[in-house]
Structure formats: C-alpha cells, structure tokens
C-alpha cells in the first residue's frame, strides 16, 4: 500500500474491533473472517480513504477552497468511478445538516436566555442543591427504618 505524507502504515489505521463488527454484520453467521483478512480489509479501506481524500483535496484546491466540503468528496467519488456511493452520501449530508440545525437551536436557546454564563451556572448549582436536598429527605425515612429493625 502507499505511504502518504511520510506516515507509516502504523500511523494510519482503523479500529480493528469496529471493522470486525461491520464485517460480522455483513457476513452470514456460518462464515468466519480471519484476522489476517480483516487486516487486509483495513489496509484497503485506508488506501481508499487516502485516494478519496487526495482527490477531494485536488478538487477543493482547483476551486481555491481551503476546506474540503462534502461537495468535493461527492465530485471525487464521481471522478473515481464510485457513482453508486453518491446517493447514499447525499442522504447522509442532508441528515447531518438537519441535525446541525437542531444543535444550533439548542445553542441559541442558552445564548438567547438573557442570562450570563455565571448566572446560568448559579441556577444550575441551585437546582443541583435542591435535588440533593430532596433526595436526602426521601432517604432519611428509609434510614430510620433500617436503624429500628
């Protein structure tokens, strides 16, 4: 396999347990997959990622962009002949953008609360104190019952 940017193959890897889990989910249960075969799959995946990254980077540079965007990856997949991956990836991109919108709304909720970070922290600490107090009050009758038995 190729040696990208002076990094050894030991520097570039994927989690073996995760790859093994994916392989196990894809294969029928009566088949087994050797560790050596898994390691070959990992090497192939790393090579695929490196080729796709290089191609995506070239496309981004041609557009004078410093950040590789999903559009660059999709164009690279097309150029490399992996058109069958494009539709599922576009669906994931849409889902990701929707998730980001929800996350931004949560962040804005705190920013638009009208409280400073210190005030929010004090409120949180007070809520924790109240919760501990309620918990202790609930546990005290149980503690008395245990002592009397």
Residue 23: strand, helix, or coil: helix
Q: What is the pLDDT of residues 43-98, one digit of tens each?
A: 999 999 999 999 999 999 999 999 999 999 999 999 999 999 999 999 999 999 98
Quote the distance between the C-alpha of residue 95 and its chain's center.
13
Q: What is the pLDDT of residues 105-128, one digit of tens each?
A: 666 666 667 788 888 888 888 888
Contacts of 110 (CB under 8 A, 6+ apart): 120
The residue count of the chain comes to 149
CB 73 within 8 A of CB 56: yes
Query: What is the topology classification, in CATH, of domain 1-81?
Result: Histone, subunit A (1.10.20)
Domain ranges of the chain: 1-81, 85-112, 114-149
């Amino acid at each position: 396999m190729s040696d990208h940017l002076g990094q050894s193959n030991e520097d570039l890897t994927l989690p073996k347990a995760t790859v093994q889990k994916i392989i196990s989910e894809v294969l029928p249960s009566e088949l087994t997959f050797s560790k050596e075969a898994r390691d070959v799959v990992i090497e192939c995946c790393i090579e695929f990622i490196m080729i796709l990254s290089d191609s995506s980077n070239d496309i981004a540079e041609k557009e004078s962009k410093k950040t590789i965007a999903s559009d660059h990856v999709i164009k690279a997949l097309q150029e490399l002949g992996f058109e069958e991956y494009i539709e599922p990836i576009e669906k994931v991109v849409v889902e990701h953008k929707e998730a980001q919108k929800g996350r931004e709304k949560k962040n804005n909720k705190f920013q638009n609360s009208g409280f400073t970070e210190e005030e929010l922290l004090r409120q949180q600490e007070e809520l924790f104190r109240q919760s501990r107090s309620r918990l202790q009050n609930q546990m005290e009758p149980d503690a008395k019952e245990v002592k009397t038995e």
